[in-house]
Structure 1
């Protein structure tokens, strides 16, 4: 009886369904997971619908999600999804349920490839300038190899990626160039997901 879960209004649940790829039941299950990763004492036992949708968990709580715990882009994913919903909040303030729900929706199996490509591009665009330049690619590669390659090897790989994928020869990958590369990667959809 003491474990009363926050109840969203019908309007909130309908809005969440309209804005995600989830059913009402899945949204409630995701909220339960959000509460669980917050841990005891972080998420109150009872909340108003407003409190339930605006409570912010520390980003360190995302490490409790198995797929993110080992993901080299965990911090960058957190930054991207906390920037998207509310520009008035910084990633330092944590992640609210609506941002968490959006992240889970994008990483769900139901999300279309185009949406996943859009967010992958945002995650790899470390300097947020709208293109993947050499520095973005070097940061991406460095995170992927986790010290397994020398800086010279990383430079060589990134220069080769630009050489082969930069159709307009401007020294960076636009979203369309990135999308063209990703559509040729057969395993992209199977690796860009989280379980609910």
Structure 2
């Protein structure tokens, strides 16, 4: 996005830029800014002085219970952390909140969901990625045998792998999620 690290406050110009670059409203951007100002990196006036400051994800979790209890939080933080360093800047959080906004198009949400579910980061979702996702979703909610897990992953691959490559590419993933109207609702939270 575009502010320099020395930007003293959320100016009108910076706000206009963020409005153009995100799916967030002015109220939502200001709310996020206010939330971050409540954390430790504030000056005596309570204003966030350095938009490039990188907050540890443990601090971010405290602001967003939706993420704190999400079984994919580590992947979400990794995908949206611009430096992939276990920390997030104000602009990283703007990106995250923009994608999780109800105003974000389903295709954009699905492209980010693809990155989150690509655990091995090989630009495709294979059987191991699906197994990891399923284990995270069902973890602690009963026992599923390895043969049941294998059957589920094979079924998913069979339904989503149009090219029969043995894995799901981003285009296939986005297409499949586009047929699930509840996906956009599930992949959202409000500021």
TM range (shorter): 0.7 to 0.9
TM-aligned CA deviation for residue 184 of structure 1: 2.1
Q: Is the 8 A contact 1:21 1:110 kept in 2?
A: yes
Q: 1:110 to 1:101 in 2, by over 3 A?
A: same
Task: Please report the TM-score for the alignment, with normalisation by the length of structure 2.
Answer: 0.85
Q: Is the 8 A contact 1:59 1:91 kept in 2?
A: no
Number of aligned residues:
181
Counting only pairs closer than 5 Å after superposition, residues 139-158 of structure 1 correspond to structure 2 as: 139-147=132-140, 148=142, 149-158=144-153
2:61 is aligned to 63
Q: Is the 8 A contact 1:34 1:100 kept in 2?
A: no
CA RMSD of aligned residues (A): 2.1
Q: 1:77 to 1:144 in 2, by over 3 A?
A: same
Task: Please report the TM-score for the alignment, with normalisation by the length of structure 1.
Answer: 0.83
Counting only pairs closer than 5 Å after superposition, residues 1-196 of structure 1 correspond to structure 2 as: 7-36=9-38, 38=39, 42-46=40-44, 51-64=49-62, 65-82=64-81, 85=82, 89-92=83-86, 94-147=87-140, 148=142, 149-196=144-191
TM-aligned CA deviation for residue 146 of structure 1: 1.2
Q: 1:76 to 1:47 in 2, by over 3 A?
A: farther
1:3 is aligned to none
TM-aligned CA deviation for residue 47 of structure 1: 7.9
Question: 5+ residue gaps in structure 2?
Answer: 1-7
Separation (CA, whole Å) in 2 of partners of 1:62 and 1:187: 26
Q: 1:96 to 1:156 in 2, by over 3 A?
A: same
Q: Which has the higher helix share?
A: 1
Query: Deviating runs (4+, > 4 A) in structure 1?
Result: 46-50
Q: Is the 8 A contact 2:24 2:98 kept in 1?
A: yes
Q: Is the 8 A contact 2:43 2:49 kept in 1?
A: no
1:14-70 superposed Cα distances (whole Å, 9 cap, x missing partner): 22111111233321111112233x3xxx22235899943111111112322121122
Q: Is the 8 A contact 2:124 2:170 kept in 1?
A: yes
SS in 1 for 2:108: helix
Q: 1:12 to 1:113 in 2, by over 3 A?
A: same
